[in-house]
Structure 1
Amino acid sequence: MTFGVIKIISGGQTGADIGALIAAQELGLETGGFAPKGWLTENGPQEAVLRSFGLIECDEHGYPPRTRRNVIHSGGTILVGKHQIGGSRLTYELATQLKKPLFLLACANPPGTKPDAARVEEFRSWLRQYQINILNVAGNRESEIPGIAEFTRAFLLNALG
């Protein structure tokens, strides 16, 4: 039961993005999204890994073009972590400007702990309210919030599984 979600997309960055793509594969969902030109991540180019998740390389340099495309090509975005910093701030601003549904999820639990049941239910209600089929998952890099990849993975497995 995935609450209507059939595909999870992200930009392929370390952290929340990769955690979401791993969760999607574990749930048997489609994966995809747009990656920066050169398949760039904070760990350097990751073409093989990102292609394995179905990501498409943007034809423009930098992170903003792929962020914009992922927001546009989804029914809504869950933003994991601190939305005031880095690329997360841009995702927040774009979703707001484009009037796209946005769910904010703080990364409060240490990795390995069960996601907060109330937040899981709020997220499920949000998915139902906006009838999200293609979910964009964005958030902080692993270097900004260590453990955020596993937190995102665990949250999505719990919420959509």
Structure 2
Amino acid sequence: MSINSRTPALVSIVSGGQTGADRAAIDSAMSHGFAVAGYCPKDRLAEDGVIPSRYPLEEVAGSYRARTRKNIQVSDGTVVFYRDEIDGGTALTVSLALKERVPLKLIDLGAVDVAIAAQKLCEFCEHHQIATLNVAGPRASKCPGAYSYVFDVIGRLVNGSASDHTGDNRFDQ
């Protein structure tokens, strides 16, 4: 089962450009020639300074909250990566996705293997007919390892290697 054969509707990845999960999603999709977009805070602010111009993000007036809401609104569904508990901006994303009533997938990167996460995300996209997927999660300073995990999951998703994985369904979230 691959994203190419199962979910041909997925055409772009959206994210807000923050360090960690956001940048990993954009970097991974771009490295596979996959379309990316998204909204970032005014002045392209992130925890490490200014978001580099190589990221094709549009500035939105207002706070991180405005950026988060806009990315949710322009997407068909949102995946939120987290480790152990959901807090800070990641919790805001979950709250706003629920308020906007968009499909939401939660993946605990501390508990779910990359291959299983990619498969579950593939199934989520197929089930909800996701054309534009918003990817969110913790910033680098709050969750070491989030970047490489999200980079690998999104890479498997967009390049068609999110294969069937039969295993323990306790990881299904």
TM-score of the aligned structures, taking structure 1 as reference length: 0.88
1:55 corresponds to which residue? 57
Give the fraction of aligned pairs with identical amino acids, expressed as a percent: 31
Q: Which runs of 5+ in 2 are unaligned?
A: 160-173
Is 1:20 the counterpart of 2:20? The answer is: no
Structure 2 CA distance for aligned equivalents of residues 45 and 28 of structure 1: 24
Q: How does 1:81-92 map to 2 (within 5 A)?
A: 81-82=82-83, 84-92=86-94
Local SS of the residue matching 1:116: helix
Amino acid at match of 1:30: A
Q: Bigger CA drift: 51-60 or 84-93?
A: 51-60
Structure 2 CA distance for aligned equivalents of residues 22 and 33 of structure 1: 13
Amino acid at match of 1:20: A
2:78 corresponds to which residue? 77
Local SS of the residue matching 1:142: coil
Amino acid at match of 1:78: V
Is 1:32 the counterpart of 2:30? The answer is: no
* Number of residues of Structure 1 aligned to a counterpart in Structure 2: 153
Amino acid at match of 2:87: I
Structure 2 CA distance for aligned equivalents of residues 31 and 137 of structure 1: 11
TM-score of the aligned structures, taking structure 2 as reference length: 0.82
TM superposition shift of 1:160: 2.9
Local SS of the residue matching 1:38: helix
Per-residue deviation, residues 33-73 of structure 1 (Å, max 9, x unmatched): 00001111011122xx2x3221001122x200000000000
Q: Which runs of 5+ in 1 are unaligned?
A: none
If you compute each CA radius of gyration, which structure gives the higher value, 1 or 2?
A: 2
1:149 corresponds to which residue? 147
Local SS of the residue matching 1:77: strand
TM superposition shift of 1:116: 3.5
Q: Point out 4+ residue stretches in structure 1 off by more than 6 angstroms.
A: none
Structure 2 CA distance for aligned equivalents of residues 84 and 125 of structure 1: 22
Q: Bigger CA drift: 75-84 or 64-73?
A: 75-84
Amino acid at match of 1:115: V
Local SS of the residue matching 2:44: coil
Amino acid at match of 1:97: K
